[in-house]
């Protein structure tokens, strides 16, 4: 009898930011500007890395992958949000919503893996500089990047399959700006305990090891830097990894705030704010951090602009 009362949901309505109905056009223009800045900034990093032979190293290869990842992540969410602002096109099919959720999880996991690979790359460069070219060569860096992508594609499959079997018998309105997994779990009238447990397990066996590898790498990196006698040597060594360390802190900070807070401390508005921080602010800051704090990138940028 209970199943007969369940209304089958065939589509969702993404609300976006309904709190500001009079500012929808201004928000569209703001997010359009932000999206263009993200695209241009990250494309600049990719272009400079490809054009300057001195940047054809594993470190900048990983940086190009990170820039491509930032472009992909924002392109997955912001165009739909801008369509909501401009045309009130809030409807999305269940398949479309699950696809967006799956791809967002793929890109999130890939960034975990990629930042870990970059931390290991900096660890080898600082702690084993004479063996760096042997340990992290072009072939190894391509294999690492490919492995990051393959693992990232397979890990969210179980989540997506399980959530696709859920029943949605209440409201079909997603108070978010994309199909976030937390929003879908909140709307479902099915038992989500198994998915919650799976999320905890994946966080333990995937995210935690990535964090620990990154943390351990920087413990060894900082220890090695402190053993350098000259001040100039310490400064140069730290400058090669300070950009990545800044990005890691921003990334893990936003992810922890978004997904690792107790349910009692979560609210819809806070979740949207932290998701916006992760999905918009970090892709804007990444190119700035790497270009402003990296002499080689600044030199390559000047060289490219001088040609124009």
The fourth-level CATH superfamily of domain 11-306 is Rhodopsin 7-helix transmembrane proteins (1.20.1070.10)
Q: Which two tokens stand for residue 305?
A: 């602009």
The answer to whether residues 245 and 293 touch, using CB atoms and an 8 Å cutoff, is no
Instruction: Report pLDDT for 182.
Output: 80
Instruction: Report pLDDT for 211.
Output: 87
The answer to whether residues 283 and 74 touch, using CB atoms and an 8 Å cutoff, is yes
- Bridge partners (DSSP) of residue 91 are 13
Instruction: Report pLDDT for 15.
Output: 87
* CB atoms near residue 305 (< 10 Å): 10
**What is the rounded distance in angstroms from the CA atom of residue 153 to the CA atom of residue 27?**
32
The answer to whether residues 169 and 6 touch, using CB atoms and an 8 Å cutoff, is yes
Instruction: Report pLDDT for 292.
Output: 63
**What is the rounded distance in angstroms from the CA atom of residue 99 to the CA atom of residue 152?**
14
**What is the rounded distance in angstroms from the CA atom of residue 215 to the CA atom of residue 164?**
35
pLDDT-above-90 percentage for the chain: 31
Domain boundaries, the chain: 11-306
Residues of the chain with pLDDT under 50: 1-6
Centroid of chain to Cα 111: 5
Instruction: Report pLDDT for 150.
Output: 94
Give the HSE-up count for residue 177: Cα atoms under 13 Å, Cβ half-sphere: 31
99-139 pLDDT, tens digit per residue, is 999 999 999 899 989 999 999 999 998 889 889 989 998 89
237-268 pLDDT, tens digit per residue, is 777 787 788 888 888 887 777 666 555 556 66
Instruction: Report pLDDT for 5.
Output: 45
């Amino acid at each position: 009898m209970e199943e007969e009362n369940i209304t089958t949901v065939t589509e969702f309505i993404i609300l976006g930011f309904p709190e500001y109905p009079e500012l929808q056009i201004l928000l569209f223009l703001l997010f359009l500007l932000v999206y263009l800045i993200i695209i241009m900034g990250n494309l600049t990093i990719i272009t400079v890395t490809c054009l300057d032979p001195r940047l054809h190293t594993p470190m900048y290869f990983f940086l190009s992958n990170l820039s491509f990842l930032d472009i992909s992540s924002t392109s997955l969410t912001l165009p739909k949000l801008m369509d909501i602002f401009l045309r009130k096109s809030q409807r999305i099919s269940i398949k479309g919503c699950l696809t967006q959720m799956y791809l967002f999880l793929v890109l999130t996991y890939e960034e975990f893996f990629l930042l870990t690979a970059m931390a290991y790359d900096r660890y080898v460069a600082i702690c084993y500089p004479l063996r760096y070219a042997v340990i992290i060569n072009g072939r190894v860096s391509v294999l690492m990047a490919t492995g990051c992508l393959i693992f990232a594609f397979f890990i969210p499959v179980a989540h997506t399959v399980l959530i696709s079997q859920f029943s949605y018998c209440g409201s079909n309105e997603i108070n978010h700006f994309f199909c976030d997994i937390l929003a879908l779990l909140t709307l479902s009238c099915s038992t989500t305990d198994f998915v919650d447990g799976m999320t905890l397990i994946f966080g333990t066996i995937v995210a935690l090891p990535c964090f620990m590898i990154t943390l351990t790498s920087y413990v060894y990196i900082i220890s090695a830097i402190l053993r350098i006698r000259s001040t100039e040597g310490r400064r140069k060594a730290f400058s090669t990894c300070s950009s990545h360390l800044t990005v890691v802190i921003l990334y893990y900070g936003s992810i922890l705030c978004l997904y690792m807070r107790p349910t009692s401390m979560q609210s819809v508005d806070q979740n949207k704010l932290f998701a916006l921080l992760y999905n918009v602010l970090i892709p804007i800051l990444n190119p700035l951090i790497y270009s402003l704090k990296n002499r080689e990138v600044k030199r390559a940028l000047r060289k490219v602009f001088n040609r124009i």
